[in-house]
Amino acid sequence: MSLLPHLILYLTLFTVAVTRETLRPRFYSETCPEAESIVRREMKKAMIKEARSVASVMRFQFHDCFVNGCDASLLLDDTPNMLGEKLSLSNIDSLRSFEVVDDIKEALEKACPATVSCADIVIMAARDAVALTGGPDWEVKLGRRDSLTASQKDSDDIMPSPRANATFLIDLFERFNLSVKDMVALSGSHSIGQGRCFSIMFRLYNQSGSGKPDPALEPSYRKKLDKLCPLGGDENVTGDLDATPQVFDNQYFKDLVSGRGFLNSDQTLYTNRVTREYVKMFSEDQDEFFRAFEEGMVKLGDLQSGRPGEIRFNCRVVNRRPIDVLLVS
C-alpha cells in the first residue's frame, strides 16, 4: 500500500500543530458543548472524595504555564528518553492529585473523543477549584494543544522554591509580563490547601543560616508550627496554608499581616515594602482580591510556547503520531 496518504495526513496534522493557538471562550461549543460542565462535575466528585485535591489541581496551572507555556507538559510521565517535570525540584513530593485530571480526561474522551486538550483541562479545572471553594468564577479562554515533550531542567531553571523572597518573585513574574499586583494576587492561590513541613524547616530552625527562626513569624504561630514540624520529625507532614484551608477567601492575606504565613515565599510578601501595599489591600477588600486573582489567572493562561502540539488521548503520555507508525511499519 502506498505511503503517500499517510504522509499527507501527517503533514496536515503537523501544519495544524505548529500554528500558534488562538484562544477564545467557548472554544468547544460545537465540538464538545458539555466540556466545561463535565470538568466541573468531575472536580465536584474529587472535592467530595478529598477536599484537598481541588487545591492541588489548581496549582497545576501555575506549575504548567510558567514552564514553556500552558501546554500540559507538567502532566507527562518520564520515559526512557525524556525526564519530565514531575520530578523537578519544585514538584517532586509536592504536586499531587494527577489522578483527578486522569478522571476528567477519561470522562471527556467518552463524551467527545480526541477533542479536548489536557492543557485546557488544567485551565478549566483550576478555575473550577476556585469557584467550588467559594472564590470567583470566570470565563476561560480555550483552544490549547498539548506539548509533545517535557523538560525537568526547564522546570528546575524557572520554578521558585518555598525559600524565594518577594524581590525574586517580582523579577520572575516580570519575565512573563505579570505585574507585582498580579504576583501578589496569584500568591493568594495559597488561600486553599496545605504545605509540607519540608518547605518550612529552615524558617523554623535556621532562617538565613542564623540558627534561629524567622523573626517575622508570630510567636504563638511559630510554636504551633514547631509542634507540627519538630526537628528530626517527618517532613512530609502537612500544615494548612492559611486559617481557612478549604475556603477560597482573603484570609491568606489577613494571616500574612499578622505574621502567620506558612511559607517563606508567602510571608515575604508582607515584609517587602513593594508588595506589602497589595497584601494590605487584599486583606481589607476580598472583592478586590477576587478581581485581581481572576485577571492574573487569565493572563497566566495566555502564556504559550508556540511549539508543536497535539490533543493527547491520555494526559500522561504523548500520542503515537502517524509518522511514528510509518517508521515502525
Catalytic residues: 63
* Distant-in-sequence, close-in-space partners of 121: CB < 8 Å, separation ≥ 6: 39, 72, 101, 104, 105, 108, 315
Q: Which among 138, 148, 123 has a CA at the least distance from the CA of 57?
A: 123
Looking at the chain, how many residues does it have? 329
* The three grid cell numbers given for residue 34, joined into one nine-digit string: 458539555
The answer on whether 160 is annotated among ligand-binding residues is yes
The answer on whether 234 is annotated among ligand-binding residues is no
Distance CA 114, CA 116 (A): 6
The answer on whether 64 is annotated among ligand-binding residues is yes
Distance CA 243, CA 324 (A): 51
Distance CA 182, CA 173 (A): 8
The answer on whether 120 is annotated among ligand-binding residues is no
* The three grid cell numbers given for residue 312, joined into one nine-digit string: 493527547
The answer on whether 67 is annotated among ligand-binding residues is yes
Distance CA 166, CA 146 (A): 32
Distance CA 43, CA 53 (A): 9
Distance CA 111, CA 129 (A): 22
**Inter-CA distances, 39 with 54, 94, 101, 132, 147, Å:** 12, 23, 9, 12, 20
Phi, psi of 140 (to 5 degrees): -100, 145
The answer on whether 71 is annotated among ligand-binding residues is yes
The answer on whether 247 is annotated among ligand-binding residues is no
The answer on whether 85 is annotated among ligand-binding residues is yes
- Secondary structure of residue 146 in the 3-state scheme: strand
* The three grid cell numbers given for residue 218, joined into one nine-digit string: 508570630
Contact criterion met (CB below 8 Å) for 289 and 135: no
The answer on whether 190 is annotated among ligand-binding residues is yes
Q: What are the binding residues for substrate?
A: 160
Q: What are the binding residues for heme b?
A: 190
Q: What are the binding residues?
A: 64, 67, 69, 71, 73, 85, 160, 190, 242, 244, 249
Q: What are the binding residues for Ca(2+)?
A: 64, 67, 69, 71, 73, 85, 242, 244, 249
